[in-house]
Structure 1
């Protein structure tokens, strides 16, 4: 039996299946008399304290097994249980509805989870799992249910579960768990991130897989391609045992280049940087060899709250990321990209027929200037602590760019008047994700310091295909000639004006795309932290002059498949890296 899922953590696992069944926590919803409300709040608070204590213990276990950086995931979980907005919302629900603590916590959790899961950004959707993990721990205490632990086995097993929470993952014994497979999840879930840190191969997003596998079934997990084989034949087992040995050798080689420059064989240097959503992610990015941050998604600061983050709160978050890296390392902060289907309940945004084409990102910020200026002040203040750059999302016209810069100038004047320090030479750029912007890149480039191409949206807008719609997913074609020609147009316009272009969409970390983008003249590649070392290893095998010829040939081709097949044939190093 062969299954295909999402490759979440590289490597190969071989062993018997171990099924981890979810424990249902039955929540009884009951009315609480007015004179017992204070007691119910006290019961809730006591169980929160107990959950925090457990998380502190898991954090310390993680620190000892994996290091301080991975342990910081649980600092974030602890902060959720210490967040007066989240905890306060539960208490207010309890008092307002006169219900028990379990029911109030469940209701508030569902609200937060629904908000995250309805976002179009995969990173944000995966944060719902963190909320469930934290809330579930408190719920089990309230309901008197013992926490479930992952049992040890006499030999390394392949763990199957509907989902694994970050705390589940942190407690995995690497000597006992060879790999894991889950029914839900994605590459940006914390459990997937931790699996990569622990070196545990993982495949996620296999719907109902746990119901199709029996305990003890012999299993192979291919964390590179997303394949799962159940009870395979002898030839397949031997093939994967050989792959295991080769993969171990590749990882050892990649580790050697963690601190090396990203440079081709003929001396052409680019930057390999990371996409992040919070300060903790920056720590993992640095550990994986990132030279800086190419996209800091600031939306996360606004999510899961009942009001806007303060200027000081934002300043501290931006400053923390800058201080994670060396003073000269680039840190590109994208201004707020929210609206449409990425909801903030306290903004009261109107539902839209087509949110991808609606009131979002820079459009929202220009209509909410005080909201926007608060963020701009925080970014400017943080720029005094590192090489911070500002980037506006969703720019479609030069008028929008000028309006944004006008507000930025106003904020600079306000800071000057108060003698608050900031980098007066801070670079300002825009994301190119709207085809209209790509077509007038030669005009826009005169008023920016850099471009960063957001291929996730650029592809869907160019192909007129909603990337969230499975029925048109076949049109999600980053290698389509139309997309590549727009990318070429943007890079050329920047180069001719002496400016640089980066890319922060998923395409930047695609090994097949890298030779094309390099040949087109891309200066900066921003990707998930786990993609950085394989990308650097590939770059070191390429010659820039060869990739320029390859890119020129690709631009004349007619179909995505033709382009991908040509690149893989002409650049055998891609397969060498993949193994």
Structure 2
């Protein structure tokens, strides 16, 4: 993605406009880097059962964590609870769990290494699928594996539900578990290095009606924790440390966007009819099922 400077301090990044709206606020940098497997080692016969037990314990802990998230999911995104259900199904799927257990038994290696190898095999299978939507669902397997790996390693992540100030989240990527735990009273919006309009993060942002820009590639390297950000979810532009003129300009755009949105919502359910009485059918051209609610709210009849 492109980057340029308006002055020495201010930077502009451009990504994918995933959810509309304009926000100005403080950045909160969230570490969502993948767990690195520091130890890959062979185990003796007497250690095999213990490694299998460690893996199954991490699997069960992961199930409990996702089930707890389901119970706390915000009302606005309850219709997307199926995303967490999918993760629970993966954890129960023998293709996922048995593959790792069998790798521990057959290759006599530690649980972390076995899990990594099993996921790599699953990724290879998904890469051969022609349907792009189904092929991209390998991300669900990767999210689940990352959670299990963290539980094996004893490494906890900061939950977005624990954030108690108004901020803009900056992360490499956000999992469905992350976006399901967003406190909409505190999280103004978010930007990520990766992701696009088909990602879970985009779908959740649209449902929560918070601005989001994804696929920025270098956001986590360019943005410092606490930096002032302008995020334009309409154009996909992110401005880091804007000057006063830019802040004033975007405050005006922000106000205009809110006025425009209010006008649209206020009149969206009036009959679409010309002054001479000709009725017009208003239809929405959508890409994803999740966009139906937004289209309906804006007056679409079909």
- How far is 1:90 from its partner? 1.9
SS in 2 for 1:142: helix
SS in 1 for 2:27: strand
1:40 is the counterpart of 2:51: yes
Alignment of 1:18-417 (within 5 A): 18-23=28-33, 25-27=35-37, 28-62=39-73, 64-113=74-123, 116=126, 123-124=133-134, 126-150=136-160, 152-154=163-165, 156-252=166-262, 265=274, 266-269=278-281, 271-272=283-284, 274-276=286-288, 282=289, 284-289=290-295
- How far is 1:223 from its partner? 0.5
Matches of 1:269 and 1:231 in 2, distance apart? 45
Q: In 2, are the aligned partners of 1:117 and 1:124 still within 8 Å (CA)?
A: no
Q: Deviations over 1:91-113 (max 9, x none)?
A: 22222222222111112223334
Matches of 2:125 and 2:94 in 1, distance apart? 19
Matches of 1:258 and 1:85 in 2, distance apart? 48
Q: Deviations over 1:489-539 (max 9, x none)?
A: xxxxxxxxxxxxxxxxxxxxxxxxxxxxxxxxxxxxxxxxxxxx66949x9
- How far is 1:227 from its partner? 0.3
Q: In 1, are the aligned partners of 2:99 and 2:118 still within 8 Å (CA)?
A: yes
Instruction: Summarize the Cα distance change of 1:4–1:273 in structure 2 as closer, same or farther, 3 Å threshold.
Output: closer
Matches of 1:140 and 1:171 in 2, distance apart? 18
Match of 2:16 in 1: 6
Instruction: Summarize the Cα distance change of 1:192–1:97 in structure 2 as closer, same or farther, 3 Å threshold.
Output: same
Q: In 2, are the aligned partners of 1:272 and 1:536 still within 8 Å (CA)?
A: yes
Instruction: Summarize the Cα distance change of 1:221–1:49 in structure 2 as closer, same or farther, 3 Å threshold.
Output: same
Q: In 1, are the aligned partners of 2:282 and 2:299 still within 8 Å (CA)?
A: no
* Structure 2 unaligned blocks of 5 or more: 1-10
Q: In 2, are the aligned partners of 1:126 and 1:188 still within 8 Å (CA)?
A: no
User: Which stretch shows the higher mean deviation, 3-12 or 16-25?
Assistant: 16-25
Q: In 1, are the aligned partners of 2:126 and 2:135 still within 8 Å (CA)?
A: yes
SS in 2 for 1:203: strand
SS in 2 for 1:87: helix
Match of 1:434 in 2: none
**TM-score, normalised via structure 2 length:** 0.82
Larger RCO: 1 or 2 (CA < 8 Å, sep 6+): 2
- How far is 1:6 from its partner? 0.6
Matches of 1:275 and 1:61 in 2, distance apart? 29
- How far is 1:69 from its partner? 0.6
Matches of 2:125 and 2:262 in 1, distance apart? 41
Matches of 1:100 and 1:257 in 2, distance apart? 61
Q: Deviations over 1:140-194 (max 9, x none)?
A: 111121233245254x222211111111122222222212111111111101111
Instruction: Summarize the Cα distance change of 1:75–1:186 in structure 2 as closer, same or farther, 3 Å threshold.
Output: same
SS in 2 for 1:239: helix
Alignment of 1:565-576 (within 5 A): none
Q: In 1, are the aligned partners of 2:12 and 2:237 still within 8 Å (CA)?
A: yes
Q: Deviations over 1:64-85 (max 9, x none)?
A: 4425312222111111111222
Q: In 2, are the aligned partners of 1:123 and 1:189 still within 8 Å (CA)?
A: no
Matches of 2:204 and 2:131 in 1, distance apart? 20
Matches of 1:13 and 1:51 in 2, distance apart? 34
Q: In 2, are the aligned partners of 1:17 and 1:157 still within 8 Å (CA)?
A: yes
Matches of 2:283 and 2:144 in 1, distance apart? 37
SS in 1 for 2:32: coil
Instruction: Summarize the Cα distance change of 1:67–1:149 in structure 2 as closer, same or farther, 3 Å threshold.
Output: closer
SS in 1 for 2:81: helix
Aligned residues: 287
Matches of 1:51 and 1:253 in 2, distance apart? 45
Alignment of 1:441-520 (within 5 A): none
Q: In 1, are the aligned partners of 2:265 and 2:298 still within 8 Å (CA)?
A: no
Q: What is the RMSD computed on CA atoms of the aligned residues?
A: 3.1
Instruction: Summarize the Cα distance change of 1:218–1:74 in structure 2 as closer, same or farther, 3 Å threshold.
Output: same
- How far is 1:14 from its partner? 0.6
Between Structure 1 and Structure 2, whose CA radius of gyration is higher?
Answer: 1
